[in-house]
Amino acid sequence: MSGAILTLNAGSSSLKVALYAECGERQLARGHADRIGPDGTLTLTDADGAALPVGAGPVATHRDALDRVLETLARARPEDRIAAIGHRVVHGGIAHEAPVPVTEGLLDVLDRLSQFAPLHQPHNLAGIRAAEAAFPGTPQVACFDTAFHRTHPFVNDTFALPRRFYDRGVRRYGFHGLSYEYITGELARTDPALARGRVIIAHLGNGASMCGIRGGRSVASTMGFSALDGLPMGTRCGQLDPGVVLYLMTEEGMDAAAISDLLYTQSGLLGLSGGLSNDMRTLEASAAPEAREAIDYFTFRIRRELGAMAAALGGVDAMVFCGGIGENSAPIREAVCAPLEWMGVVLDNAANRAHARVISTAGAPVQVMVVPTNEELVIARATRALTGGEAAQT
Ligand code: ADP
């Protein structure tokens, strides 16, 4: 019987599950439940990408999705023994700069942080509870999206509010840290000189953010206190004048729940495209002017943030695109980069269309790259390292 590491990444309506060999970095299977609820879907593939039969049945809850993945894996890979389980946890608060083993005390602390990430943290914690129930006594590890950003300097950690709010935890935490950690590790492995320099990473998926990195450490990020700030996203608004929230309360009579729903689930690409779609592929295929405007706003805000990040870092040596949009959409990368020749960004259009690893011209001052991210592998490495398996590899 061989040991395996299970990783869980529970979003508000999605669950990503991966299975890794306990030794080495080989992925044995990966599952993805999407739109969990009445229309939920579930796919599971083996190490070669072949579909494993998940059968029919509801994907109404995260628990349904996990149960069906585990049942299918037990049938398809009866030789595996789950040796440890790693979880993506969106919020680790100010105390956690690295992954930690899950304990009852930790869950209490993380539960209190749910107030800072109400749409994500409860699902992450539910995933840990579900895994505890399915594998009692198996070691579990929590890996935090905020941890990578704990190196932010004070000026990028604070808001200009009275200091008591900072002390209570009202800070710019930054998210997508597992993705940034993976990309930073990849750069250190393949381009060590570049990795020591000034790098801006754009993680562009359904959630989207950017991170400015100097010497391998996070200096600035577009996401702040919540996963709402910064770039517009599939359904989230991105940067917003707080005066708009005051207006929504006082003039439109909206309460906190209605505003939360508006900003998290009805805004971003979906809202700007007039309700057409939150999905970039659908918008790119659409002839509707609102779809074009939504895309234009998305790429404009990325360029604005690039300028701000460049200033925060004191220049840029490399830019990396990752995430579903960043890795797959040549038109979006071109729309972002083409107007940036003034800052040394010179795209090689053929390389960009071919999704090459380096998509800038040889000798351009800023090296532009496409690097597929792998948050699951970061979780698996940390889980292995903290539960007595092989030392973490970066
Ligand atoms: P999540 O943040 O949920 O992990 P992903 O990183 O999977 O999301 O990114 C999902 C986004 O990537 C969607 O907007 C999807 O349309 C977009 N995307 C995926 N493939 C392509 C493609 N070939 N061209 C344009 N956009 C794409």
Residue 391 — pLDDT band, cuts 50, 70, 90? very low
**Whether the domain at 2-144 and the domain at 177-370 fall into the same CATH topology:** yes
Find out whether 201 is annotated in a ligand binding site.
no
- Which of the residues 80, 145, 191, 229 is marked catalytic? 145
Backbone φ and ψ for 232, nearest 5 degrees, come out as -65, 150
Query: Does ligand 1 lie within 6 Å of residue 268's CB atom?
Result: no
pLDDT at 389 over 60: no
**Nearest residue (CA) to ligand 1, atom 27:** 325
Q: Is 145 one of the annotated active-site residues of the chain?
A: yes
Domain boundaries, the chain: 2-144, 177-370
Q: Ligand 1 within 6 A of 328 CB?
A: yes
CATH architecture of the domain with range 177-370 = 2-Layer Sandwich (3.30)
pLDDT value, residue 13: 79
Q: What percent of the chain has pLDDT above 70?
A: 98
* pTM tops 0.75: yes
- pLDDT tens digits, 174-188: 999 999 999 999 999
Distances in Å between the alpha carbon of 131 and those of 66, 124, 213? 8, 11, 34
* 3-state class (DSSP) for residue 173: coil
The response to whether residue 323 sits with its C-beta less than 6 Å from ligand 1 reads yes
256-306 pLDDT per residue, tens: 999 999 999 999 999 999 999 999 999 999 999 999 999 999 999 999 999
**Cα-based distances in Å from 147 to 248, 301, 358:** 33, 25, 28
Among 9, 328, 336, 355, residue to substitute to test ligand 1 (most atoms within 8 Å of Cβ): 328
With tokens 């010497």, the residue in question is 215
**Concatenated DSSP letters of 133-157:** HHSTT--EEEEESSGGGGG--GGGT
Q: Does the domain formed by 2-144 have CATH 3.30.420.40?
A: yes
Helices 104-112 and 121-134: crossing angle in degrees, nearest 10, is 160
Average pLDDT over residues 116-135: 90
Å from CA of 234 to ligand 1 middle: 9
The preferred substitution site among 325, 329, 353 for testing ligand 1, maximizing ligand atoms within 8 Å of CB, is 325
281 annotated as a binding-site residue: yes
CA atoms of 91 and 315, how far apart (whole Å): 30
Q: Is the pLDDT of residue 58 over 90?
A: no
Residue 320: alpha-carbon gap to chain centroid: 15
Q: How far apart are CA 271 and CA 263, in angstroms?
A: 9
